[in-house]
Amino acid sequence: MSTPKRYERIAFVASAGTEAQAALAQLTAMYGNGDPAEADVVVALGGDGLMLQTLHEHMRTGKPIYGMHRGTVGFLMNEFSIHDLHARLAAARESLINPLLMRATDMAEVIHIHHAINEVALFRQTNQAARLRILIDEQERMHDLIADGVLVATPAGSTAYNLSVQGPIIPINAALLAITPISAFRPRRWPGALLPNTAYVTIEVLEADKRPVAAAADHDEVRDVRRVEVLSDRTISMRMLFDPGHGLEERILREQFGP
């Protein structure tokens, strides 16, 4: 049986690490390295940081992204192998990811718009805790959260920073978002909430002059914000490819039952 040619033209991208660069040289010698704009698939060599960077770069192209782990953290990556890459790509399963859209208004009334694949997070900028008001679909749900910050996470990002601050793990196909406090002081035991992925989240910064807050959509940061609006951007669907049995659904399920 001939190998399926669904993803014949491959473009490789790699992080700057020694392992990733060595893998890039090996794979380029074996399979060539096309222009990402013309390729059928982009193969990212590195860790989760490179995968997020690659997804951001190709967010609006609909280009499928297949990662191989040649970095530090590799939750979003497949195992590395130089063999039978065309066959692996043809057999890979696809997961669709919708990013978050962040609209942050700073103290000068300048509006900043960024996308996030993992989470939108608000952090205190000084030694004083942030004071935040949370509205869901324009209805106040928390009058005054005093904390180091708060984040809104996608299912894909629920096992990243969200999990580190005790947020819930969300199955990748669940139509949910997580809103999770970061070191909450008042209300001290608020665990956060699960929201439908249609929710329109607004976070207002109280006493913004006295208690400045920054907002970050993945790696894009805005300082001195006074209001941050977050929603799932259904106009964008990113295509991630995973080897059978090792997709995000399986990894997120496995994560809930320990190593």
3-class DSSP state of 161: helix
- Tokens (6 digits) for 68: 């191989």
Active site residue: 35, 40, 48, 243, which one? 48
**Rounded Cα gap, residues 129 and 232, in angstroms:** 27
Which of 213, 216, 167 has its CA nearest to residue 192?
167
48 noted as active-site residue: yes
| Residues 102 and 229 sit within 8 Å (Cβ to Cβ) | yes
| Single-letter code of the amino acid located at 189 | R
Tell me how crowded residue 9 is: count the other CB atoms within 10 A of its CB: 14
Query: For 60-211, where are the E strands, in sequence order?
Result: 65-69, 93-97, 100-106, 111-116, 119-124, 130-136, 139-153, 176-186, 193-196, 201-206
Which residues, in sequence order, are bridge partners of residue 121?
A: 151, 216
8-state DSSP, 54:
H
Q: Hey, which residues are catalytic here?
A: 48
